[in-house]
Amino acid sequence: MLQSDNQYSKLRWLLTLGGLFLYVFDIWTDVGLALKHFQDGHYVWSGLTVMFVLTGLLVTQIFSIAWYWDDMSNVFINPQGKSSTSGRTKCGLAALHVFGMGVFTRYYHLLKKGIDVIWTSTNSYTEEEIRDVHKILFGLATDLSMLRLFEAFLESVPQLLLQIYIILGHDEGSVMQYLSVAFSFFNAAWALVDYRRCLRRSLPNIREMPSGLPTAIYLLYKLCTITSHILSYSLLLMLSTYSTIALTVVWLLGTVWTHLLHTNFCESRSLEILYRAVVGVILTFTFFNVKGQNTKVPMIIYYSFYYVVNFAAPILLYFFKQDLQTSTFLLVSIGLISGCSVLGMLCLLVYYLFLHPRGKQREADEVDGLREETETTSRISRFLQP
């Protein structure tokens, strides 16, 4: 029998289904909020909300269809040279992605194959075949988690920043707005943990991220650091909307740094440029180990900048927004930013000192080279009929 860590269990299948519902509700609340902003005459807010939704949707469709096509032309993954994958031709896949159904298509393949493997008690698989099928399921889950991570930082996290800015800076709050913030928050949290767990599970010679306390501490570390950073950015936007220029500069710095690391995540040069731009967005909000190298020095530099921004934002607001100097709002913001910053760093230290699974190779935040490492599991599965 396979060990539970090597199985794509029923619980993981249910969590995948839960992730699908969370993804749908997140988009639904954002679209509903965009309509409400439009009805209220806030056309800029409505346009920005729609822009974030479309950006996340468009980029994930581009990567998804590119990965499908790369697999079909790869002789190692598709040695028989089939002109279709999972029962669909290139044109059929293109049509699905044009209508924004790429992520849903991948969810369908993963959930359906999961039903065939883990929910069907009678099957003719040998133990070795079962092991291979479970590897395929983990490979499918890893691809999907990568797309969800992109979507989270291109749609959910910017949406959080926009809506928190509107709520705090313009005293504009509604039920739909709070729902959008909640679902964006949970969607981003889900994507972070799901990606990290799936990636560790798919890479060879890397121990899987344990459930329970290590996962909880890692999640708390990410949530606290991202939350404090978003709050700080919101305060800077309240100080001046020209702070968006500073955010653009931060994104450019992250993108250039990723470029200087010479990542080779994608086979296409143009797609690699897009990938580096996406990583730049992720680095705007949280640290990300791009190359899987020793990250001690980059993390020190990154979180030094992180603390400068987090503590400079309320100080600048205090001196340049005199009407807020004695307000409860500013005191609460300072408390939340300071508390989340300190707690996030404590969780970071606890996780990497005591709870981080030690492996022989690269760190688990790595994405560069993922296509090669998981090729035999996450790629070959495309050519199995659903």
Nearest to 143 by CA among 304, 27, 265: 265
Report the percentage of the chain scoring pLDDT > 70.
79
Structure-model confidence comparison of residues 116 and 306, the more confident one: 306
Instruction: Answer positive or negative: Cα dihedral of 305, 341, 237, 60.
Output: positive
- pLDDT by residue (tens digit) across 34-91? 999 999 999 999 999 999 999 999 999 999 998 888 777 765 555 566 666 666 777 8
Query: Which residues are CB-contacts of 187 (< 8 A; sequence separation ≥ 6)?
Result: 22, 23, 26, 152, 156
Nearest to 361 by CA among 205, 201, 209: 205
Look at residue 326 and tell me whether its pLDDT is greater than 80: no
The per-residue pLDDT for 291 is 67
pLDDT band with cut points at 50, 70 and 90 for residue 281: very high
Beta bridge partners of 84: 89
C-alpha 245/C-alpha 311 separation (Å) is 19
pLDDT band with cut points at 50, 70 and 90 for residue 5: low
Helix or strand holding residue 55 (H, E): helix 43-73
The per-residue pLDDT for 249 is 95
- pLDDT by residue (tens digit) across 91-133? 888 899 999 999 999 999 899 988 888 877 555 666 777 777 8
The per-residue pLDDT for 292 is 61
CA distances from 331 to 318, 336, 341 (A): 10, 9, 15
Report the percentage of the chain scoring pLDDT > 90.
39
- CA within 13 Å, CB half, 150: 23
Dihedral angle computed from the Cα positions of residues 35, 180, 52 and 220, in that order, rounded to the nearest 10 degrees: 180
Structure-model confidence comparison of residues 52 and 194, the more confident one: 52
| Domain locations in the chain as residue ranges | 1-209, 211-355
3-state secondary structure 61-99: HHHHHHHHHHHHHCCCCCCCCCCEECCEEHHHHHHHHHC
For the ranges 104-113, 120-129, 148-157, 333-342, the lowest mean pLDDT is seen at 120-129
The residue written with tokens 């309509």 in the block is 35
The per-residue pLDDT for 208 is 62
- pLDDT by residue (tens digit) across 206-257? 566 666 788 889 889 998 999 999 999 999 998 888 999 999 999 999 999 9
pTM, two decimals, is: 0.86
pLDDT band with cut points at 50, 70 and 90 for residue 303: very high
The per-residue pLDDT for 371 is 46
Average pLDDT value for residue range 163-189: 83
Look at residue 150 and tell me whether its pLDDT is greater than 90: yes
The per-residue pLDDT for 207 is 61
Look at residue 376 and tell me whether its pLDDT is greater than 50: no
Look at residue 205 and tell me whether its pLDDT is greater than 70: no
Beta bridge partners of 88: 85
Average pLDDT value for residue range 31-36: 92
The per-residue pLDDT for 67 is 86
